[in-house]
Amino acid sequence: MKKKGFIFDLDGVIVDTAKYHFLAWKKLAQSIGIDFTEVQNEQLKGVSRVESLKKILAWGNKTLSEADFNRLMAEKNTNYLSYIHKMDTSEILPGVLNALQYLIDKKQPIALGSASKNSVEILNKVNLYKTFDAIIDGNAVTKAKPNPEVFLKAAEAIKVAPENCIVFEDSVAGIQAANKAKMMSVGIGDASVLNEADIVFKDFTEIDFKFLNELIKEKRIINKRKKNIE
Ligand code: B16
Ligand code: MG
């Protein structure tokens, strides 16, 4: 039995911070005369802060000086953090704690693989900081998802070969990153949106211990499709 590694995305998998990102991006967009919708917010899931602002400006046909771009990004984050500061353990998504506890009981290495630069702050608020053996987030990578860097670094940090890692991800960009890293991609959300994932669950309440145990025990978790991904 090869040693497995379990890598969790943060926003949209462990907690639903997309609603706070939405409020903060909407305020910013409005301040520069851009209309920002929830549908557009969906497209920012898993996308880094810099790339998110670039997308919003493109949607609104606006360009900014570098100084204004950086100022607005900082303002957005301050506003976003005002929501994060009010978070507590009640915001952990259903089923997540059970799954984490099961993997801990089975002595499985677990890592965080998130695009967020606020991951430590968020994990502390929901009392999960010490749960992870490694935390790789937006501060540790230079290339944003769908680049596999974040997950490859997470695998390295928990000393598990990428092909023995399982990634739980809610964004299309994140699923693509896991696939490029040749890891098993488990989508959390809508199967029609996450159609590139190896398997999709609506949320963690659909993931039972039997499934987790199969992942732990399975000799080869990578399906044939992965071999063709460059
Ligand atoms: P921050 P994840 C991502 O987190 C979010 O899905 C995405 O919407 C956000 O823009 C990105 O983090 C950067 O977040 O502004 O906190 O650095 O889903 O990869 O955990
Ligand atoms: Mg996410």
- Probe target for ligand 1 pocket from 8, 10, 11, with the most ligand atoms within 8 Å of CB: 11
Domain limits of the chain?
A: 5-16+89-228, 18-84
Nearest atom of ligand 1 to the alpha carbon of 118? 16
pLDDT, residue 226, reads 52
pLDDT, residue 28, reads 97
On the question of a common fold for 5-16+89-228 and 18-84, the answer reads no
Q: What six digits make up the tokens of 24?
A: 């903060």
The CA 8 to ligand 2 mean position distance, Å, reads: 9
CATH node for 5-16+89-228? 3.40.50.1000
The residue nearest atom 12 of ligand 1, judged by CA position, is: 116
The residues pairing with 110 across neighbouring beta strands, listed in sequence order, are 6
| 146 prior amide bond cis, ω within 30 | yes
pTM of structure: 0.93
Output DSSP code: residue 117: S
pLDDT, residue 197, reads 97
Residues 200-213 pLDDT 10s: 999 999 999 999 99
Q: Which ligand is nearest the CA of 51, by number? A: 1
Pairwise CA distance, residues 29 & 26, whole Å: 5
Q: Which three-class secondary structure state does DSSP give residue 158?
A: coil
The backbone torsions φ and ψ at residue 186, rounded to the nearest 5 degrees and listed phi first, read -110, 110
Are the C-beta atoms of 225 and 200 separated by less than 8 Å? no
Residues 161-211 pLDDT 10s: 999 999 999 999 999 999 999 999 999 999 999 999 999 999 999 999 999
Superfamily for domain range 18-84: Putative phosphatase; domain 2 (1.10.150.240)
